[in-house]
């Protein structure tokens, strides 16, 4: 994978996904040591290029790079020449001239990481582009479910919420399908993308039916920043119908886990009464985010074996 871009889960093979997960297991162990640092990427430079806000993803890419001893530069568009109307691609070319070893890109518009990858020599890692993909989120979700359930094959995963605007939903649909899970989506009709069933999922407008026998319940945030106004009922109506609470969770399997990519709107997509329902799973998602991003940086932006031996 060295030198390749990671733009989405859609283009990854099952074996590649499993390799990233296995590598992340090793990386997680590094995070448990007293000195959480290994020299693997010493002398490599990683640029975080976040055009859209982020808490978990940006921080965890930074921690991941630092744990591998890379030099990590956070590029903030608000203080850059983008304010002076420099185009995104010009910015990318300027960064490229500084010889980074990987560039991590987040942008509100789908396809921007691909366009940047077209002009950059360094591998580009997509950290979320519009409603398109968020590959490292799906990978950390797979890792979390694999730890909780032992394997992914044969599980039933129900993704609930704003599927239409969610890059997390899209990446997770590809990811869980590729690893052999049954994926269901549940949402109010305007939030179900047309032709979504072509991705191999079953769409439900009844949450109860979608939860029947589910092993994993993944709640998504309403993407207010991507709503064009017409799609959303009201917060109250949404939480009454699609918000996950204890009563609705009874339709899923007894040992079902509840996940959320964050940021969580308590009382909207997850009820307050779920606060004590194995809250560790959502924090494990965050913890696994660091391990997955370490694995991704190592596998995509590491040194070729011959180079590493020098």
Full DSSP string of 179-226? TT-EEEEE--GGGSPTTGGGGT-EEES-HHHHHTT-SEEEE----GGG
Which of 28, 107, 132, 167 binds ligand ASP (CB under 6 A)? It is 167
Which tokens sit at 191?
């939030």
Note whether 116 binds ligand ASP by CB under 6 A: no
Note whether 134 binds ligand ASP by CB under 6 A: yes
Give backbone dihedrals phi and psi of 42, rounded to 5 degrees, phi first: -60, 135
**Complex with ligand ASP: residue 69 or 235, whichever CB lies closer:** 235
Note whether 289 binds ligand ASP by CB under 6 A: no
Which of 221, 248, 277, 293 binds ligand ASP (CB under 6 A)? It is 221
Could you count the other beta carbons within 10 Å of the beta carbon of residue 111? 14
Note whether 262 binds ligand ASP by CB under 6 A: yes
Residue 125 Cβ, how far from ligand ASP at the closest point, in Å? 14
Q: How far apart are CA 220 and CA 49, in angstroms?
A: 24
Residue nearest to ligand ASP (CB): 221
Quick check: 163 and 97 in contact, CB under 8 A? no
Beta carbons within 8 Å of 248's beta carbon, 6+ residues apart: 207, 208, 211
Which of 100, 135, 261, 289 binds ligand ASP (CB under 6 A)? It is 261
**Complex with ligand ASP: residue 4 or 56, whichever CB lies closer:** 56
Note whether 168 binds ligand ASP by CB under 6 A: yes
Binding site for ligand ASP (CB under 6 A): 128, 134, 167-168, 221, 261-262
């Amino acid at each position: 994978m060295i030198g390749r871009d990671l733009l989405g889960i859609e283009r990854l093979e099952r074996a590649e996904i499993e390799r990233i997960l296995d590598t992340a297991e090793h990386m997680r162990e590094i995070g448990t040591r007293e000195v959480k640092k290994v020299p693997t990427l010493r002398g490599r430079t990683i640029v975080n290029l976040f055009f859209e806000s982020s808490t978990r993803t940006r921080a965890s890419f930074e921690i991941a790079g630092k744990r591998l001893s890379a030099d990590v530069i956070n590029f903030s568009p608000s203080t850059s020449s983008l304010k002076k109307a420099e185009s995104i691609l010009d910015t990318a070319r300027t960064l490229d001239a500084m010889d980074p070893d990987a560039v991590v890109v987040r942008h509100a518009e789908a396809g921007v990481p691909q366009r940047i990858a077209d002009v950059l020599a360094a591998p580009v890692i997509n950290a979320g582009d519009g409603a398109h993909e968020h590959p490292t989120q799906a990978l950390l979700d797979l890792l979390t479910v694999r730890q909780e359930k032992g394997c992914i094959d044969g599980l039933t995963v129900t993704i609930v919420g704003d599927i239409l605007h969610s890059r997390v939903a899209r990446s997770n649909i590809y990811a869980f399908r590729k690893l052999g899970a049954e994926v269901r989506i549940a949402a109010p009709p305007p939030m179900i993308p047309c032709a979504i069933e072509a991705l191999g999922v079953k769409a439900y407008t009844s949450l109860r039916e979608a939860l029947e026998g589910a092993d994993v319940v993944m709640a998504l945030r309403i993407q207010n920043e991507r709503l064009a106004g017409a799609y959303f009922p009201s917060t109250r109506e949404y939480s009454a119908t699609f918000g996950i609470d204890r009563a609705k969770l009874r339709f899923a399997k007894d040992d079902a886990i509840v996940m959320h990519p964050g940021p969580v709107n308590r009382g909207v997509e997850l009820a307050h009464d779920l606060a004590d329902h194995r809250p560790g799973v959502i924090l494990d998602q965050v913890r696994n985010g660091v391990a997955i991003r370490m694995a991704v940086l190592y596998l995509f932006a590491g040194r070729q074996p011959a180079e590493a031996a020098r």
